[in-house]
Amino acid sequence: MSTSLYATFTVADRYLGVPVARVQEVLREQPITPVPLAHEHIEGLLNMRGQIVTALNLRARLGLAPREAGAPSAHVIVLTDEGPLSLLVDALGDVVTVHEDRFELPPDTLQTDTRHLIKGAYKLDDALLLDLDLDRTLDFTT
Amino acid sequence: MSNDMDEIVQEFLVESYESLDRLDGDLLALERDPHSKDTLASIFRVMHTIKGTCGFLGFPRLERVAHGAESLLGGLRDGTIEVNPPIASALLATGDALRQMLNNIERAGTDGDEDFLHLVATLERLRASAGATAPNRIPATPPSPRKDAPVRPEPPQTTEPVAEAARASVADANIRVDVAILDNLMTLVGELVLARNHIAQITAASDHDPVWAAAAQHLHAITADLQDGVMRTRLQPIHTAWARFPRVVRDLGMALGKQVRVETDGDDTELDRSIIEAIKDPLMHLVRNAVDHGIETLEEREAAGKPPEGVVHLRASHEGGQVTIVMRDDGRGIDLDKVRARGVERGLLRAEQAKKLSVHDTIEMIFLPGFSTMDQVTNLSGRGVGMDVVKTNLGRIGGSVEVTTTPGKGTTYTLKIPLTLAIIPALLVTSGAQRYAIPQVNLVELVRATPEQIEQVHGAPVLRLRDRLLPLVYLASELGGEVAEATTHHVVVLQADDRRFGLVVDTVTDSAEIVVKPVGSYLKGVDTFAGATILGDGSVGLILDIIGLARRAHVLTKKQERELAELYDHTEETETTGVSLLVFSDHEGGRMAIPLELVTRLEEFPRTELEAAGPFPVVQYGEEILHLVDISRLMLDRRRTSRTDGLSSAGETLPVIVYLHEGRRVGVVVGQILDVVRHDLVELQPGTRPGVAGTMITQDRVTEVLDLPQILSDWDEDALAALTGVELSA
């Protein structure tokens, strides 16, 4: 029975995760420089130890309500072909072990326009962990 | 299996090609210095590896040749044979033969059917004739062995040590460094510059605590030196950018039935690697363009009395912190009339505009996208792509290109290029709550303007800056924000390509050296930003791409663009001295001019708006009443000849020059506003009648430059007299 490790985080009460292999690191709240004229899902740029990283607003990407002003946030830095990219999330969670046989496809009732971003759900003992399709999530510019 | 084999063969080919390239150099070095054990070992290794691998892969001919060479080299390595010219030649020939066979393997998969038996025999003969001991070598070459034996070793003893010492010192003074290491060093220096900026900010915040200040000052000095030093390591001679040109030009010339050669000067001029990379393609395009369009065919050159061979000359030199590259051809030059005609054809300008278009502006048109004057599109150039890309690419690295041309004599392109890109001086400004960096290379000057000073030309905001109209761009609105109300606007005057504009920002905070960092591909579509940098406080600041911004800001209606361009282009010529003159005609077509700086505004009033008030008509002008007087009438009293009064004869609207005379606005009605030109007032011909300061020639017509203050002062008295009913002039 195969298992894998997932880095988890929450976005507007959604409990989401991505494979740890795709995650470079996580950061607590960072000052962000907005980029005018950029794609609406781009939150801005942040300084990660001298390297400039683009932050993607995951709430916007998932079509969820914007974060309230002053609400806490955190960054999940994921590795992409174009270098690191930050997923702006509400809060960070633990790294959890998921079992493949406890995976299920998303229910048909899931909202349609961002449904393709969720691969499915892992049934954990105390919660449902949504498996975020990272590649599709990052493919928003086209 | 066969796939694996292919892969192995591929690897073998790549490795062998690389080794053989080194081999030539090593052999030449060995010839100069036969005692270098290292060089010999390196050559032996190459040959041994090739022999071993091709034996394994089954290339018998290749193996035989390599084996012959290896045996000979074995003798050399063991000291039983000494290198002499025949041996060096044979080994070089071996290299060529191996290359030829490798080529064959690459193409056909076999090592060919040539056996190089002669070469193998030569290698064997050299090895054998040299024998197992050194003395045996001697009879093989020199005619008189006994005499030669003591003589031959001597020159090496007398000359060699000196030469060796010199070579050794050169070798010691130069090392090869991986470019990646240099790039990394540059990045680290960039970080250091940022850290220094941060420290400087803390120091400033600490009220310049002397201890802190001294340490910060020290850090500043070291950083500057280090930055300079690392920058130097990345410099490469410009030769690397144009080394391929002679060959390209020769081939291209042949294809076009032309004879062209490339001459270069200043090959050693050094530039940062990244800049060299960036200018390679634009330069190549200019050179190809010169060969294709500039240089004439043999017959044309002969007819023009020129030498058959055309010349493309490249010269590079350092000039005041930047590099100037001048590319000159001795071809036919740019046919300006053709360019103008093409401009009209493409709807870029109207026929009457084309006639007036200056040489400079005409040449500028060749840099417009999709512009080509070639009647026939060749496969090499003339597709209308390229010249605009040349300009854009140079602009992106803060460079520029200027063109001058002499019909029949040739064209000269002058490129100005910055020395480096990685760390640039920049001006920091704020707009909204954000800070932005503007590369200093685009910066012309900083001015302030009150809201009242900002005027409109067809809805486009402009500022008068020393009698020139400067189009204004509000950074906040370009970036999709609101323009803040302010009592004073900060205007950053910028140069993008050949266009100059004023960028209105909230505040100008500082100038600083910034490190240009790439922003990810997610922001690629945003051409307003050239990159990002890390500011003194550690936050990210965006670097404005001035060309991108200008392009974005000029998304005006075609009409606005043209009108703005008309007003703007005429006043653009910074090189010429003198003052700007507004040229207009009276109602009989007489050309007159007044200094533009005297003009408050140019207006057009519908005839229906005229109202009678005393002897002179008036119009309502904002809150006040503007008195109108016709130019012909102003001049009438002076010439005492009958003239038509524009007020009673002209068309539906009256062109009016609004002029502030002794605190009062006066509207001077003219026939037509014609142009704005620059002319040196000192060079005027003396005037022929009162009120005329002098005459000059504009567009082949005599133009009178009026002394308007004097004329109006005189007229004032007349007007006063008219109003009070006293006839002074009678």
Contact B104, B110 (CB under 8 A): yes
Same domain, yes or no, for B595 and B651? yes
DSSP assignments along B628-673, one per residue: EEEHHHHHHHHH-S----HHHHS-SEEEEEEEEETTEEEEEE-SEE
Name the closest residue on chain B to residue A41, using Cα atoms.
B522
Same domain, yes or no, for B337 and B359? yes
CATH class of A3-138: mainly beta
pLDDT in tens, B518-541: 777 777 667 788 888 888 787 899
Query: Is A45–B519 a contact, with Cβ atoms under 8 angstroms apart?
Result: yes
Interface test with A, best of B540, B542, B544, B545 (most A CBs within 10 A): B540
Chain B hits for A42, CB-CB cut-off 8 Å, are: 522-523
- We report the CATH number of the domain holding residue B103 as 1.20.120.160
Q: Which residue has the higher pLDDT, B84 or B639?
A: B84
- CA A34 to chain B, closest CA, distance in angstroms equals 8
- We report the CATH number of the domain holding residue B709 as 2.40.50.180
Same domain, yes or no, for B386 and B271? yes
With a cut of 50, say whether residue B555 has pLDDT above it: no
Is residue B729 assigned to a domain? Answer: no
Instruction: Report the mean per-residue pLDDT for chain B.
Output: 75
- CA B422 to chain A, closest CA, distance in angstroms equals 14
Q: How far apart are the first and last CA of chain B?
A: 117
Same domain, yes or no, for B241 and B252? yes
Contact B454, B472 (CB under 8 A): yes
**A33 interfaces chain B, CB cutoff of 8 Å:** yes
Query: Is A36–B517 a contact, with Cβ atoms under 8 angstroms apart?
Result: no
Name the closest residue on chain B to residue A141, using Cα atoms.
B522
pLDDT in tens, A42-74: 999 998 877 889 999 999 998 888 888 888 899
- CA A74 to chain B, closest CA, distance in angstroms equals 17
Q: Which of B165, B577, B437 is nearest to A33 (CA)?
A: B437
Is residue B129 assigned to a domain? Answer: yes
Question: For residue B525, what are the contacts with CB-CB under 8 A and spacing of at least 6?
Answer: A39, A141
Same domain, yes or no, for B414 and B430? no
Query: Is B522–A51 a contact, with Cβ atoms under 8 angstroms apart?
Result: no
Query: Is A44–B521 a contact, with Cβ atoms under 8 angstroms apart?
Result: no
**B126 interfaces chain A, CB cutoff of 8 Å:** no
Is residue B573 assigned to a domain? Answer: no
What is the percent of chain B with per-residue pLDDT over 70, rounded to a whole number? 79
Q: Which of B303, B300, B195, B312 is nearest to B248 (CA)?
A: B312
Chain B hits for A33, CB-CB cut-off 8 Å, are: 434, 532, 539-542
Highest averaged pLDDT of the listed ranges B263-272, B495-504, B512-521, B704-713: B263-272
Give me the phi and psi of B131, to 5 degrees please.
70, -170
Cβ neighbour number for residue B654 with a 10 Å cutoff: 23
Domain that holds residue B82: 2-141
What is the percent of chain B with per-residue pLDDT over 90, rounded to a whole number? 5
Query: Is A45–B532 a contact, with Cβ atoms under 8 angstroms apart?
Result: yes
Domain boundary among B372, B390, B418: B418
* pLDDT on residue B8: 74
Same domain, yes or no, for B410 and B444? no
Query: Is A39–B521 a contact, with Cβ atoms under 8 angstroms apart?
Result: no
Q: Which of B612, B597, B610, B656 is nearest to B631 (CA)?
A: B656
Is residue B100 assigned to a domain? Answer: yes
Query: Is B541–A33 a contact, with Cβ atoms under 8 angstroms apart?
Result: yes
Sort residue B337 into left (φ over 0), alpha (ψ -120 to 50) or beta: alpha
Name the closest residue on chain B to residue A42, using Cα atoms.
B522
- CA A129 to chain B, closest CA, distance in angstroms equals 28
A135, HSE (Cβ side, Cα atoms, 13 Å): 2
> CB pairs below 8 Å between A and B: how many?
66
pTM over 0.80: no
What is the residue extent of each domain of chain A?
3-138
Query: Is B520–A35 a contact, with Cβ atoms under 8 angstroms apart?
Result: no
Total number of domains in chain B: 5
Is residue B147 assigned to a domain? Answer: no
Same domain, yes or no, for B340 and B489? no
Q: Which residue has the higher pLDDT, B386 or B264?
A: B264
Same domain, yes or no, for B584 and B692? yes
Query: Is A82–B520 a contact, with Cβ atoms under 8 angstroms apart?
Result: yes
Is residue B672 assigned to a domain? Answer: yes
Q: What are A78's two structure tokens?
A: 């994921």
Q: What are B556's two structure tokens?
A: 């005006």
Is residue B563 assigned to a domain? Answer: no
Chain A hits for B191, CB-CB cut-off 8 Å, are: 50
Same domain, yes or no, for B289 and B399? yes
With a cut of 90, say whether residue A23 has pLDDT above it: yes
* pLDDT on residue A43: 92
Q: Which residue has the higher pLDDT, B64 or B346?
A: B64
Name the closest residue on chain A to residue B431, using Cα atoms.
A36
Chain A hits for B523, CB-CB cut-off 8 Å, are: 35, 38, 42, 54
pLDDT in tens, B126-157: 888 765 444 433 333 434 444 444 444 444 33
With a cut of 50, say whether residue B729 has pLDDT above it: no
Is residue B713 assigned to a domain? Answer: yes
Query: Is B539–A31 a contact, with Cβ atoms under 8 angstroms apart?
Result: yes
